[in-house]
Amino acid sequence: MTGTAHNGGGRRGNPWRIAVWGLAALVLLMPLIAMQFTEEVAWDLADFVIFGAMLVGACGTYELAARVTGNHAYRAAVGVALAAAFILVWMNLAVGIIGNEENPANLMYGGVLAVGIIGAAIARFRPHGMERALIATAVAQALVAVIALIAGLGYTLILTGFFVALWLTSARLFRKAALEQAHTGAAP
């Protein structure tokens, strides 16, 4: 039986699961370590709680997706989408993407995430629908840059391209998962 040990039925440690949660713990410790060497990093308890909650949410969502499907393309697609969402929120909270973190124009990125979340819910997390949801998310990301440009708010073309590339990479992986699912007839 996969995932069970012969020592009383307990689960064996999954190396990917351990790696994901271990990396999350390491990332959470990085600001604490940096605070020992520089005054540029000055986090308080609230910063650590928010960042920790973001990490638990992202890692927990990935683990749920990994438990639901054995499709490696689907798992990778979820991982890329979660990484993009995590980085987008983290950057926006830390320094802001348009101007600084206090610029209300940064709230438009919440709309980008809403497009992805609503699209995923409508797709019921099925790979073909998820592909469409992530393409829509990439379009929403690009629209934020266009709106910022038209409004004269300034934006970073490279950063926008980075996020669009991540959303489209995830969409492509969901497409691959949909094709594999259609070929094997398996559930996502």
pLDDT at 82: 96
105 is a domain residue:
yes
pLDDT at 67: 87
171 is a domain residue:
yes
Does residue 10 surpass a pLDDT of 60? no
168 is a domain residue:
yes
pLDDT at 7: 40
pLDDT at 113: 97
10 is a domain residue:
no
Taking residue 175's Cβ as centre, other Cβ atoms within 10 Å add up to 19
Q: Which of 176, 104, 174, 114 is nearest to 141 (CA)?
A: 114
Does residue 111 surpass a pLDDT of 80? yes
pLDDT at 183: 80
Domain with 108 in it: 15-184
Taking residue 90's Cβ as centre, other Cβ atoms within 10 Å add up to 16
Does residue 2 surpass a pLDDT of 80? no
Q: Are 59 and 22 in contact (CB under 8 A)?
A: no
- Give the count of domains, the chain: 1
Does residue 64 surpass a pLDDT of 80? yes
Cα–Cα distance for residue pair 96/151, rounded to 1 Å: 17
pLDDT at 101: 85
pLDDT at 3: 42
5 is a domain residue:
no
Of residues 49 and 94, more confidence is placed in 49
pLDDT at 186: 60
pLDDT tens for each residue of 130-185:
999 999 999 999 999 999 988 888 777 899 999 999 999 999 999 999 999 888 76
23 is a domain residue:
yes
151 is a domain residue:
yes
1 is a domain residue:
no
